[in-house]
Structure 1
Amino acid sequence: MPHSKLGAGLRSLAISFPSILRTNDHFRTAHPEMVAHAEQFSLAKVWGKGEAAAAPTAFDLTMAPYLADPFRGAVERRLRAPGEPALAMELRAARGALDAAKITSDDVDLVLVSSFVGDRFGVGNAAYLAKELQLRAPALNFETACSSSVVGLQMAASLVASDAYKRVLVVVSTSNSVQVVDDDSLGWFVGDGAGALLVERSSASAADSEFGVLGWKTINSIGTNDMFVIHAVLDPKAGGDGRTRLCTSANENAGAMARDTAEPYLRACVDGALSMASSSVRDVDFWVFNTPNAWYADFCARVLGVEEGRYHSVYPRYANIGAALMPATLYHALHEGRIHPGDVVGLYSVGSSSTASALIMRIGNVALGPYPEQPATSN
């Protein structure tokens, strides 16, 4: 059994979601013509058949079953209501992780926060989260798109292992709904969510010293630069007063960029993390794969040779929630008993215009925050 390379691991985990649950029926009712002619719009153009290949890739093969679905596998997504800030999701997650660990904010030495996007232009939510939690510890902003939670976990474990900090709280949120418009099908496959992970040193006991981070590997994902671009555009709902809103658009080559980079990034990160952990794919009991689309977990499993039952996906429940995908997937796997104390867990995430990252850890007794409340449906 390999020992933790850092002597630091996950103590508690909590997730949080905003107040609106939106199903596909909303789009069928509000935009019936768009749904009927979905192949003409953004989502299908990004995740479409593309040019015929002599030999379909693993990405193509796992995507194929979803091409007949106008929503490309998305079923439900959680969205922020008007006036509901990202900070509200982050606070619920942070408090959930602290309460689960039975500690207070005074016991935290550092907070790492990734808000994509924050509630204000030019500055992240870290200082505002610190104020609401009445923290005395420093709170720092960082961002590496969808990989923020995996990278944040590795950074936190490294900082704890260096003895610079005793406990580090990592808080991530993704607010995709404020970056899309309702009548663009690109918004059909995204949602909002937040997660919080509390990292601390493993105890000196022989048993507990096995738990924690075993290995990791992070690379840049420059092959996906500008795959999705966020613009500031005039808000048509503002009555012509010049106010702007965020709007995400897809590069015309986005689908090809995803296909071309998906397998090389996955193999480079997972192979590197497993090598540091002195482990193989077979040594990992459960995998938590990034799910920016409905088939990505199946794609990763196919490439790595991971059997069904050793991974799962929360995409049908939440759609693409960016950096919150890892904590949400891990939370549900723990809550549903798919992962047990002592299991080796592999994490993998990829973000466009940022990084791809894998991490291998042995799970201890992770305390879980409250189960997410079911919001009212908005149709």
Structure 2
Amino acid sequence: MTSTGAGISAIALEFPTHVRRNDFWERNHPELVANKDNGTYLRVVASSDGTETDNAFDIERRPYLSDTFRGARERRVIAAEETAIDLEQRALQGLCRARGIDPAELDAVMVHSWLPDTLGPQNAAHLTARLGLRVPAWNFESACNSVMVGLQTAAALVRAGDYERIALITSITSSRNVDPSSTLSWFLGDGCGALLIERCPTGRGIISSKVIGTQETCGVAEFLMEVDEMEDDDHIRTPRIRMRMENTAAGRIMRDSAEQQLTTCVRGALDKAGYTIDDVDFLVVNTPVAWFAAFCARALGVDPEKTVSTFGTYANIGPVLTTANLFEAASTGRIKAGDVVVLFGIGSVSTAGAAVVVWGDDVALGPHPVSG
């Protein structure tokens, strides 16, 4: 078999139309804002625990500590009647339109839904059935790092010749799992990202990857089945999956582990590809907090102008973050054909991973999401 590479040939994003800005809590939950220091978000995720150091994470976080919402300004939130599959379907269709293909021309579809619409069989088969597809479609999961694990898997399958064209879909609908009266809702948004992985010339596309486990983060969050306190119009109390973050060590664990996870993955991927950090033209990372891109640049010794962050616009959209930041960099011309691009993602209770990509000259982009 002739040696071939695997690369990203198209990117698309899909978001709900409803935008929830910071004044939502100022108007509807003023007591929450007034007592913010007792809230879960600031107490657990994005605050200083009084042991500030001169490491890269603390340095880049410091300017945000005076901001009540820690850099978040807007979040996209699905309507009550919307589902994750709705977002995934629109993203997949947008991806195919951008590439100029029919969905029937896909060879496989990989789907990560955080969280899926149904228990048991998850979204992949349901999503492709909506489009009348009979291609292999399967679900996978590595929390907020799912897109990096998905890229590694899809690229390997394409290089091996098992498939020529794989759609990689990641979605998040966390607003369904966090009550707006919790400060956790301040930093969570909904959305969907789609990537198309296809054959490309050797030496272009996804050159190498490095993925590690993040077992040290076990216990930072829980997802529990709970019953709403309020009855609906039919006097039914609805059970829902709720996200809880009560581990007060979560912020410290993120701070203390992030730099080692970052450098291990990025330098490992660069070594495999035969590059050094000086060869990197652009760095795209997921941004679970507002300062994460700046932190990564500082820790790696990369010019911060070679990074991008969409946290202020979308907040933490988990597994969609890396795709959203990559789309932003590509759509604004900050990544050009032939550039060496490093992608990095990190997930709690899952994995962290990096990939080295030599950017192609014909990567198709869906329409830029319209700001609400």
TM-score bracket for this pair, using the shorter chain length: over 0.9
CA contact (8 A) 1:149 1:327 kept: yes
TM-score, normalised with respect to structure 1? 0.93
SS at match of 1:29: helix
Per the alignment, residue 202 of structure 1 pairs with 200
Instruction: Judge conservation of contact 1:6–1:157 (CA < 8 Å) in 2.
Output: no
| Residue of structure 1 in register with 2:303 after alignment | 307
Aligned-residue sequence identity (percent) comes to 42
Q: Pick the aligned partner of 1:190 from 188, 191, 208.
A: 188
Gapped regions of structure 1 (runs ≥ 5): 204-208
Pick aligned residue for 1:340 from 316, 336, 339? 336
Aligned mates of 2:73, 2:363 — CA distance in 1: 29
CA distance in 2, matches of 1:123, 1:184: 30
- Please give the root-mean-square deviation of Cα atoms over the aligned residues, in Å: 1.4
1:241 aligns with 2:236: yes
Partner secondary structure for residue 303 of structure 2 = coil
Conserved? CA contact 2:308–2:328, under 8 Å: no
Answering whether residue 170 of structure 2 is matched by residue 135 of structure 1, we say no
Report deviation, 1:6: 6.0
Question: Of the candidates 281, 284, 301, which is equivalent to residue 285 of structure 1?
Answer: 281
Q: Which residue among 206, 217, 220 is the counterpart of 2:210?
A: 217
Retained in 2: the 8 A contact 1:6–1:212? no
Q: 2:60 matched to 1:62?
A: yes
User: Which of residues 248, 253, 256 is equivalent to 2:252?
Assistant: 256
- Counterparts of 1:257 and 1:232 in 2: how far apart (Å)? 26
- Whole-angstrom CA distance in 1 between matches of 2:196 and 2:174: 24
Task: Tell me whether 1:371 sits opposite 2:350 in the alignment.
Answer: no
| Residues 208 and 355, structure 2, Cα contact 8 Å, conserved in 1 | yes
Higher mean C-alpha deviation, range 353-362 or range 148-157 = 148-157
Alignment match, 1:73 = 71
SS in 2 for 1:217: strand
Counterpart code for 1:118: P
Deviation at 1:230, TM superposition (A): 1.2
> In the comparison of the two structures, how many residue pairs are matched?
365
Q: Distance in 2 between matches of 1:114 and 1:38?
A: 33
Shift of 1:242: 4.3
Question: 1:323-344: CA deviations, max 9, x gaps?
Answer: 1111111111111111111111
State the distance in 2 between where 1:21 and 1:327 align: 20
User: Is the aligned partner of 1:51 residue 2:45?
Assistant: no
Question: Aligned with 2:284: secondary structure?
Answer: strand
Matches of residues 149-164 of structure 1 in structure 2 within 5 Å?
Answer: 149-164=147-162
Q: 1:102-181, aligned counterparts within 5 Å?
A: 102-181=100-179
1:331 aligns with 2:327: yes
Give the aligned residue type for 1:234: V
Corresponding position: 1:265 with 2:261: yes
Can you list the C-alpha shifts for 1:215-251, whole angstroms capped at 9, x where unaligned? 1100010011121211111112334634211211112
Letter in 2 for 1:221: T
Counterpart Cα distance in 1 of 2:55 and 2:241: 34
Amino acid at match of 1:249: R
**TM-score between both structures, scaled by the size of structure 2:** 0.95
**Separation in 2, partners of 1:108, 1:324:** 21
Question: Gapped runs of 5+ residues in structure 2?
Answer: none
Amino acid at match of 2:350: S
Shift of 1:169: 0.7
Q: Deviations over 1:67-101 (max 9, x none)?
A: 11111111100001101101111111111111111
